[in-house]
């Protein structure tokens, strides 16, 4: 199986270009499509109805969608190991987080009008492919300048101009995907996620230093007791989400099967 990860900011045109890519790939490969989003999406349903492949959605809720997607990748690879391709599309809300793994193909769909490449973090700098979208909105000279600036922050990436309406660039992406090595063995992130955890990460709402620290301290103490397996047996997507629920009084800490024992 090959793991293909599409990242990019909201509105960059990820889903539009993915539809064209899947249309070409399904002629030769079996695949499964997963859409990672925050609160709601119908993209999985639309792709299933239009392209007749298996799809599903994963909603992160209170979690960072990139963090959540990384937690889910090993489970999805195991579940769909009979497929040739696993195509994941992330919500891409954070320019500092990056969902790319070293044994998968990372593609960022980047709206050419959405800011300077130098303002993007690992979601761009660690991508294997940069699919430039909406290039028809600016002049040829501006597109050339943009490409130069892309090379400055990610000199090793393949750069492809795409159009979600016409399908331009889809065949180039398909060829790269076909030549991507199999995703095997232990997965490793290309770039670590942000390391800071504070009271706000544990669900604090009050803007007050003492409140933030108190929430963080309680969360850290509970974190030290948990196995950090993100197994989901408690009914929550991750141990961090479970901690937030405990601190909010929504669930008892003994709901964790490891603490119960």
Q: Are residues 121 and 247 in the same domain?
A: no
Q: Is residue 38 part of a domain?
A: yes
Could you tell me the sign of the dihedral formed by the alpha carbons of 219, 222, 228, 230, in that order? negative
In degrees and rounded to multiples of 5, residue 174 shows phi and psi of -60, -45
Instruction: Select from 178, 197, 223 the last residue of a domain.
Output: 178
Sheet-wide strand order for 2-7: 54-59, 31-37, 85-89, 2-7, 105-111, 129-133, 158-161
Q: Per residue in 214-246, pLDDT tens?
A: 999 999 999 999 888 888 899 998 898 899 999
Q: In the structure encoding, which two tokens stand for residue 172, read together?
A: 């180039």
Residue whose tokens read 């963090």:
67
For position 97, which CATH number holds?
A: 3.40.50.300
In this predicted model, what pLDDT tens digit does every residue of 31-69 receive, in sequence order? 999 999 988 899 999 999 999 999 999 998 877 888 888
Q: What is the pTM of this model?
A: 0.84
Are 35 and 43 spatial neighbours (Cβ–Cβ below 8 Å)?
yes
Together in a domain, 93 and 161: yes
Mean pLDDT of all residues in 122-149: 90
30 and 130 belong to one structural domain? yes
Is there a single domain that holds both residue 23 and residue 116? yes
Per-residue pLDDT of 80-104, as tens digits, reads 999 999 999 987 777 788 889 988 9
Does 256 have pLDDT greater than 90?
A: yes
- What's 245's domain CATH number? 1.10.15
In a domain, 199, yes or no: no
CB contact set of 15 (below 8 Å; sequence gap of 6+): 35, 43, 47, 89, 164
Question: How many structural domains compose the chain?
Answer: 2
The answer to whether residue 197 is domain-embedded is: no
97's tokens: 């987080």
Give the position of tokens 């997965």.
187
Does residue 200 lie within any of the structural domains? no
9 with 137, same domain: the answer is yes
Co-location of 171 and 116 in the same domain: yes
With cut-offs at 50, 70 and 90, classify the pLDDT of residue 137.
confident
Q: Are residues 213 and 127 in the same domain?
A: no
* Mean pLDDT (whole number) for 107-132: 91
In a domain, 162, yes or no: yes
Verify that 56 and 161 share a domain, yes or no: yes
Question: Binning pLDDT at 50, 70 and 90, where does residue 2 land?
Answer: very high
For position 203, what pLDDT does the model report? 85
Which residues touch 1 (CB under 8 Å, ≥6 apart)? 77, 80, 81, 83, 84, 85, 86, 182, 183
Is residue 124 domain-resident? yes
Residues 120 and 213 in one domain: no
54 and 153 housed in the same domain: yes
* Cα→Cα distances 168→40, 77, 115, Å: 28, 30, 22
**Residue 238 belongs to domain spanning:** 209-260
pLDDT for the residue numbered 261? 60
Pairing of strands 31-37, 85-89: parallel
**Does 223 share its domain with 151?**
no
On whether residue 50 sits in a domain, the answer given is yes
Residues 171 and 214 in one domain: no
Comparing C-alpha atoms, which of 88, 100, 85 is closest to residue 177? 85
| Residue 152 included in any domain | yes
């Amino acid at each position: 199986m090959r793991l293909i990860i599409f990242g990019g900011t909201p509105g960059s045109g990820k889903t539009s270009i993915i539809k064209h890519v899947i249309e070409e790939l399904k002629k030769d490969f079996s695949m499964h499509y997963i859409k990672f989003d925050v609160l709601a999406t119908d993209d999985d349903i639309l792709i299933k109805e239009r392209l007749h492949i298996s799809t599903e959605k994963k909603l992160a809720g209170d979690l960072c969608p990139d963090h959540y997607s990384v937690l889910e990748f090993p489970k999805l690879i195991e579940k769909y190991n009979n497929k040739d391709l696993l195509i994941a599309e992330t919500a891409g809300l954070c320019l500092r987080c990056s969902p790319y793994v070293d044994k998968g193909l990372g593609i960022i769909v980047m709206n050419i009008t959405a800011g300077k490449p130098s303002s993007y973090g690992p979601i761009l700098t660690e991508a294997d492919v940069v699919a430039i979208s909406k290039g028809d909105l600016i002049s040829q000279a501006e597109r050339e300048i943009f490409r130069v600036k892309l090379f400055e922050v990610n000199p090793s990436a393949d750069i492809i101009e795409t159009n979600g309406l016409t399908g331009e660039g889809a065949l180039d992406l398909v060829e790269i995907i076909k030549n991507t090595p199999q995703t095997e063995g232990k997965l490793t992130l290309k770039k670590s996620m942000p390391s800071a955890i504070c009271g706000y990460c544990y669900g604090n709402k009050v803007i007050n230093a003492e409140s933030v620290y108190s929430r963080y301290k309680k969360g850290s103490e509970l974190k030290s007791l948990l196995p950090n397996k993100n197994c989901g047996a408690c009914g929550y997507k991750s141990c961090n989400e479970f901690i937030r629920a405990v601190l909010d009084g929504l669930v008892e800490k003994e709901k964790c099967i490891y603490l119960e024992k």
